[in-house]
Each structure stands twice: as C-alpha cells, then as structure tokens.
C-alpha cells in the first residue's frame, strides 16, 4: 500500500467512526511559551483538553506534523544513526474530548491494524501501565481487561511509568497509556534471544508504532490524583513507522516516504545508498532534514539567528555538514530536493506546493552562505595547522574560528584528526564559557522590560553537540 493510501485509510477509518477530519496545525507555535514546535499530536489541542476552548466535534482525527528537536523530546542525535526516529514526522491521531473512552479506543485500534491494514497479529505487542506504588497510581486493570478480550495474553506486556503514563506537566490532565509495538525480526533473529520480546529496548526491528493515552486523572498541586469529570482519548501513531510495517521493509528510509528523496540524493551526489555506513548516515540525515526545514519554511518559520529560526538554521547546517563531509558536496544541493518533496507530499500538505519557490530560494541562500563560511574556515584552519608548533591545536584558536566565523567545531576536530593532530577541547569549552558570560551580561543590560521565558529549553538544545552556537539564544516576552 502506498503511503498516501495508508494515511487516507487512517483518516477514513476514524471518519467512519464519527470523527471529523481536521488538517494538521502549523508546526511552529507562535503563542505557546512552553513549546517552540509542535512535538506531538496533542499540542494543538491543549486548550480543548484543559476545557479552555470547545472543539468543532467531540471526535477528531488528523495527521499532525511534529518536530522533535528541542525540549522534552529531542531526537536529533538519533536521526540518521537509527532508522526510525526523525526530526519531522507525521503523527496520526484520533481524539475524544469527553466522548468515547478506553473500550472504543482499544477496539478501533485493533480493528484498524489487523483488519483494515491486515497486519499480522503475531508481530504485534500491546503494553499496559503496571501502576506505581511510590506515587499510589493503580495499574490500568480496565485497559488490561479490554485488551484481553481481543489479544492473546502473552502479547500483553506490563509497562512502567516512563513509557506508560502520560502527564501534560507537573499538574493537570494525565493518565495511563497503552502502546502498540511491532516485532519485524526474522525467525532466526528471534531465536537468538530465546523468545524475549525486546519491546522498549531500542531494537531497530522491535519498534513502538502507536500510543493510546487515556486521560482520566487530574494531577493536583499537592501531587495527588483526582478523576477527571470528562475523560479524553489522545492517540498518536508514527506514520513513517506504520509505512515501514505496511510496506514490509526494515527501515523508515526504505518506504516510499523517503525513497524518492534518497534516489534524488544518489543521482545528484553520484553515491549509492546501502554501500557504506558513513554515506548512508549522511543520506539519511539529509533526506530527513530537508523535510524538517522545508515544512518549517512553509509554515512561516525561516532560518534565522534566534529562537525557533535558529533551531531550523542548525538543522539545515547539520545537513550541509554531512553532505560536505561525507558526500563531497561543495556546492548547494539540498534545495534541489525540494522539488521531489513537494511533488510527493504536496497533495497531503498543499502548503509545500504553494511555497515551493520560497522554500527553494531560502534553502539555497542558506546553503551558499554556510558553504562560504566553511570555505573561509578551511583556509583559516589550514593556516593554524601550518603554524602549529605542537600536535595539539589551541582551544582558543578553534573557538575563534567557531565564534567569529561560524566554523563548526566537530568539523575542526575531524580535519585535525585526519591530519594526525588533536584539539584542546578543554580550552575550547573554557573559551565558550567565557563568551557565554560576556553575552549574558550584555543582554541583561539591553532588555530592561523583557522577561526571559524559556532560556533553559533552548539552551538544552544548544548543548547537545557543541557544534555551532555563536549566538546567544533566548526568547523574550514583553511584559
């Protein structure tokens, strides 16, 4: 089944169960101070769950564009290295706002997977919240009993609070969840671990596909739980992972969501996917990141030097670094992938088609400017190397390259390593700390009537791989 049909089937199925199909909300949030990007299907519906707004129907269904590159969900480092975490992905969802609850959510989930999609029951596992003694939350017996009616008991596994209990924050709506996992290992692979399920163990062929959240409690300020008067259903299924299962392949990148982009990368860069692990990682990174960047621009978030724009700029630069280093691309080329992306996804997401020209121009411009930076940086770095009197290059010098010229530190390390030299990392980090202190006091002086809102969340993002962060990024709100 083609990915387009897989998406359509999901929406039609829930439409047939009384749901209204709604379009994806934009991925970039302008008015939510707690979140930079939509990172799950529920984010745009927060107000409905909190009772602050009324949904157009008590049953909705959609495919929401999500981006997991900052804050609580940051999968960026996984992307390219594994085969099932993306920066941008689609989350298929069905929603009940005080309408149906566990019984229907469970029965429809199973009906859709096994009857409509025809997925073999023997590759599916279901998890149920086991309860938490320390915090007094009971096991989800109700869900267990509903599952037991339709799923063999040896396929139902107990899960802990981390995987099987969802909370919006320290306070507010929360509840247990049931997840569906697929096991697409071969019989020989399974035999190797003697029947062990490997669910939630980061195995590339034993993957979570769907999460059904049963919002039944409200967590009060003192930490205790009370039953919500209106119970809600919030489900999220990873579309690309579902396509992997439905198309009988072992990686999201082997589905028709990604193969057209990958073929285009192969053609342009004269490489072949599947021959060399380093090249493969680069190809996966680029095919993933072009989607994230293109969709963000289509949603109005252009790359820039602050806030959400800076996150997007970093994602694009990450893609350029991989193409520069591992695919030997010294000219802009990521923008050339936008055409195929918009052809393939433009029907489901018309904003891509409508903004195609802008997306291409912006990406090309960004690529050119970053490639210039890389060129200049290389000349400067070679100068440093030529004048080096020891095999350890000073952290101060590397920081100058990074801070003044935007030359990524990991590229510096890589080049030094290739030449048998070393980077003084401690010196680099010390210089970075000094610079942070300087810019902090500068910004405090100039922002009198602005309050810092979510500095921590963004700084967490900056910290994952000390690559390029010459800019202090802090979001401000006028008070």
CA distance linking residue 67 with residue 274, whole number of Å = 26
- Going by the DSSP 8-state scheme, the letter that residue 152 receives in this structure is -
Nearer to ligand ATP (CB atom), residue 425 or residue 460: 460
The torsion of the CA quartet 158, 244, 73, 27, rounded to 10 degrees, works out to: -130
Nearer to Mg ion (CB atom), residue 125 or residue 333: 125
Nearer to ligand ATP (CB atom), residue 156 or residue 384: 156
Which backbone phi and psi does 62 adopt, to 5 degrees? Answer: -165, 175
User: In the bound complex, what is the minimum distance in angstroms from residue 236's beta carbon to ligand ATP?
Assistant: 4
176 contacts ligand ATP (rule: CB under 6 A) = no
**Is 364 within 8 Å of 288 (Cβ atoms)?**
no
| Residue 266 binds: one of Mg ion, ligand ATP, none (C-beta under 5 to 8 A by kind) | none
91 contacts ligand ATP (rule: CB under 6 A) = yes
CA distance linking residue 329 with residue 180, whole number of Å = 40
User: In the bound complex, what is the minimum distance in angstroms from residue 211's beta carbon to ligand ATP?
Assistant: 3
Nearer to ligand ATP (CB atom), residue 237 or residue 371: 237
Nearer to ligand ATP (CB atom), residue 182 or residue 374: 182
CA distance linking residue 309 with residue 291, whole number of Å = 15
Nearer to ligand ATP (CB atom), residue 349 or residue 399: 349
| Residue 238 binds: one of Mg ion, ligand ATP, none (C-beta under 5 to 8 A by kind) | ligand ATP
User: In the bound complex, what is the minimum distance in angstroms from residue 304's beta carbon to ligand ATP?
Assistant: 24
Q: Which of 45, 39, 431, 29 is nearest to 232 (CA)?
A: 45
Each residue 32-51 as x (binds ligand ATP by CB under 6 A) or -, in order, gives: --------x-----------
User: In the bound complex, what is the minimum distance in angstroms from residue 75's beta carbon to ligand ATP?
Assistant: 4
CA distance linking residue 187 with residue 17, whole number of Å = 37
241 contacts ligand ATP (rule: CB under 6 A) = yes
234 contacts ligand ATP (rule: CB under 6 A) = no
| Residue 366 binds: one of ligand ATP, Mg ion, none (C-beta under 5 to 8 A by kind) | none
301 contacts ligand ATP (rule: CB under 6 A) = no
CA distance linking residue 128 with residue 142, whole number of Å = 10
Which backbone phi and psi does 190 adopt, to 5 degrees? Answer: -65, -40
Q: Which of 427, 421, 440, 342 is nearest to 382 (CA)?
A: 421
236 contacts ligand ATP (rule: CB under 6 A) = yes
Nearer to ligand ATP (CB atom), residue 65 or residue 356: 65
| Residue 240 binds: one of Mg ion, ligand ATP, none (C-beta under 5 to 8 A by kind) | ligand ATP
User: In the bound complex, what is the minimum distance in angstroms from residue 359's beta carbon to Mg ion?
Assistant: 27
Which of 7, 59, 65, 68: binder of ligand ATP (CB under 6 A)? 68
Nearer to ligand ATP (CB atom), residue 128 or residue 431: 128
CA distance linking residue 332 with residue 372, whole number of Å = 10
CA distance linking residue 11 with residue 56, whole number of Å = 16
314 contacts ligand ATP (rule: CB under 6 A) = no
Which of 101, 210, 399, 407: binder of ligand ATP (CB under 6 A)? 210
Which backbone phi and psi does 350 adopt, to 5 degrees? Answer: -60, -25
The torsion of the CA quartet 124, 178, 107, 348, rounded to 10 degrees, works out to: -80
- Render 279-297 in DSSP notation, one character per residue: HHHHHHHHHHHHHHHHHHH
Burial of 400 (0-12, 13-18, 19+ CB in 10 A): middle
Which of 12, 75, 266, 400: binder of ligand ATP (CB under 6 A)? 75
CA 419 to each of CA 386, 388, 401, 416: distance values in angstroms, whole numbers, following the listed order: 11, 12, 18, 5
7 contacts ligand ATP (rule: CB under 6 A) = no
User: In the bound complex, what is the minimum distance in angstroms from residue 208's beta carbon to Mg ion?
Assistant: 5
- Render 82-137 in DSSP notation, one character per residue: BSS--SEEEEEEEEEESS--HHHHHHHHHIIIIIIS---GGGEEEEEE--BTTTTB
Nearer to ligand ATP (CB atom), residue 86 or residue 185: 86
CA distance linking residue 297 with residue 356, whole number of Å = 9
Interacting stretch for ligand ATP, rule CB under 6 A, among 44-52, 226-234, 238-246, 410-418? 238-246
Q: Which residues bind Mg ion (CB under 5 A)?
A: 208, 211
Which of 176, 238, 332, 377: binder of ligand ATP (CB under 6 A)? 238
Nearer to ligand ATP (CB atom), residue 252 or residue 323: 252
Task: Write out the residues near ligand ATP by the rule CB under 6 A.
Answer: 40, 68, 75, 85-86, 89, 91, 208-211, 236-238, 240-241
């Amino acid at each position: 089944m083609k990915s387009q049909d897989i998406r359509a089937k999901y929406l039609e199925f829930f439409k047939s169960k009384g749901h209204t199909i709604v379009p994806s909300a934009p991925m970039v949030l302008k008015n939510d101070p707690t979140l930079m990007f939509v990172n799950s299907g529920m984010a745009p519906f927060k107000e409905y769950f909190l009772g602050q707004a009324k949904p157009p129907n008590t049953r909705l269904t959609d495919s929401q564009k999500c981006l997991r590159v900052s804050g609580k969900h940051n999968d960026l480092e996984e992307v390219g290295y594994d085969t099932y975490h993306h920066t941008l992905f689609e989350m298929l969802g069905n929603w009940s706002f005080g309408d149906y609850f566990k019984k229907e959510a469970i029965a429809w989930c199973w009906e859709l997977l096994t009857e409509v999609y025809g997925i073999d029951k023997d590759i599916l596992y279901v998890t149920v919240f086991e309860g938490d003694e320390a915090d007094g939350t009971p096991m989800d017996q109700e869900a267990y009993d509903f599952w037991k009616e339709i799923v063999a008991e040896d396929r139902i596994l107990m899960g802990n609070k981390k995987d099987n209990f969802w909370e919006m924050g320290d306070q507010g709506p929360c509840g247990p969840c049931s997840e569906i996992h697929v096991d697409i290992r071969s019989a020989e692979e399974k035999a190797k671990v003697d029947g062990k399920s490997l669910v939630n163990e980061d195995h590339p062929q034993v993957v979570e596909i769907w999460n059904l959240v049963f919002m039944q409690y409200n967590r009060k300020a003192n930490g205790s739980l009370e039953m919500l008067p209106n119970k809600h259903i919030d489900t999220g299924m990873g579309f690309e992972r579902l396509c992997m299962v439905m198309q009988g392949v072992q990686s999201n990148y082997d589905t028709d969501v990604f193969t057209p982009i990958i073929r285009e990368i192969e053609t342009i860069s004269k490489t072949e996917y599947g021959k060399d692990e380093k090249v493969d990682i680069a190809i996966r990174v680029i095919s993933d990141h072009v989607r994230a960047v293109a969709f963000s621009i289509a949603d109005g978030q252009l790359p820039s030097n602050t806030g959400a724009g800076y996150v997007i700029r970093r994602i694009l630069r990450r893609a350029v670094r991989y193409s520069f280093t591992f695919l030997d691309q010294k000219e802009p080329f990521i923008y050339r992938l936008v055409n195929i992306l918009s052809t393939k996804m433009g029907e489901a997401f018309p904003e891509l088609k409508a903004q195609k020209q802008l997306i291409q121009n912006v990406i090309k411009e960004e690529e050119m400017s970053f490639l210039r930076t890389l060129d200049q940086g290389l000349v400067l770095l070679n100068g440093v190397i030529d004048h080096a009197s020891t095999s350890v290059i000073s952290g101060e010098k590397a920081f100058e390259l990074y801070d003044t010229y935007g030359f990524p530190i990991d590229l510096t390390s890589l080049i030094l390593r290739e030449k048998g030299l070393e980077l003084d990392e401690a010196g680099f980090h010390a210089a970075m700390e000094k610079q942070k202190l300087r810019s902090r006091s500068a910004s405090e002086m100039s922002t009198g009537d602005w309050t810092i809102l979510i500095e921590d969340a963004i700084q967490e993002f900056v910290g994952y791989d000390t690559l390029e962060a010459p800019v202090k990024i802090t979001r401000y709100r006028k008070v």
